[in-house]
A and B are shown apart, each in its own frame.
Chain A
Amino acid sequence: QSALTQPASVSGSPGQSITISCTGTSSDVGTYNLVSWYQQHPGKAPKLMIYEVSKRPSGVSNRFSGSKSGNTASLTISGLQAEDEADYYCCSYAGSTIVWVFGGGTKLTVL
C-alpha cells in the first residue's frame, strides 16, 4: 500500500502558525475519521499529538490542532516554539485488509 503524502519539510518563525498536510485517498483518510499525528524528536520515540482527526491527548498543548477535508488531513501548530522543531508523522486507518498506513514524515524547522 502507498504511504500517505506529506511535505518533506515546513518551516516557520517563533510565534507563527504552520500547517502540515497529509494526503491520502478515499480508501483511507477520506473514509475514516481515524487519523492520528505523531511528533518525533531526534533519537526519541514518536509521541501521540492528535488522534481521531482532531482530539488531543491530555498533556498535549492546545497549540496543536487537527482537521480533515476530503482526502487530506492537516496538523496546525500555532504560536510556534523552538521545542516544536521535530519530525511529524500522520497515520490513518486504511480498511480491514491494509489496516494502518503512515505518512512519509515532515521535518519542521523553527527559524
Chain B
Amino acid sequence: QVQLQESGPGLVKPSETLSLTCTVSGGSISNYYWSWIRQPPGEGLEWIGYIYYSGSTNYNPSLKSRVTISVDTSKNQFSLKLRSVTAADTAIYYCARDRCTSCFSGSFDPWGQGTLVTVSS
C-alpha cells in the first residue's frame, strides 16, 4: 500500500526557511491531492496546504504569505517551504494524501509518520 515519508532538517534557525520533502512509495503521486499538516508539541492539528499532482495549490490563509508547496512527479515527491520561521513554527510536520482519487475531500489517508522541526538559534 501507499506509504509516505517526510525528510528534512530537524532544526531551523529563526528567520530562515524550513524545507521538507515527502516521498511517496508503493503508488503513484498522480491523480491525488497531497497535503502538509502540522502539530505543535502537545497541541492540535493545523492544515498548511495542498498540491495536486498537476501542480495546482491551495494554502491556509494564515500561512499563505510564507508557504510554497511544490511537486516533482519524476521523483514521486512533494515538498514544503515555510519562510521566515519563528519559534511558533516548531511542530511535528506530517504529509498526507487525500483518499479521493482526482478530488479533494479532506479525508487524509494515509499519513506519513511525521517529523519534528524545531525553530531555535
Contact = CB atoms under 8 A, between A and B. Distances in A.
Contact of A105 (B45, B99, B111): B45
A85 to B, nearest CB: 17
Contact of A89 (B45, B50, B114): B45
Interface in A53-78: 57
A99 B45 contact: no
B105 A1 contact: no
A103 B107 contact: no
Interface string A66-100: 00000000000000000000000101110011111
A36 interface: yes
Contacts of B50: 99
Interface in B48-107: 50, 58, 60-62, 94, 99, 105-107
Contacts of A52: 105, 107
Interface residues of B, number: 20
B47 A101 contact: yes
Given A1-B62, A51-B99, A57-B99, A102 B46 contact: yes
B32 interface: no
Contacts of A46: 45, 94, 108, 111
Given A51-B99, A97-B61, A57 B109 contact: yes
Nearest to A103: B44
B112 A1 contact: no
Given A45-B94, A48-B99, A51-B99, A102 B109 contact: no
Given A45-B114, A89-B44, A98-B61, A34 B108 contact: no
Among B46, B94, B111, B113, find the residue whose CB has the most chain A CB atoms closer than 10 A: B111
Contacts of B58: 96, 99
A104 B106 contact: no
7 contacts: A44-B113, A45-B94, A48-B99, A96-B58, A99-B50, A102-B44, A105-B44
Interface string B8-37: 000000000000000000000000000000
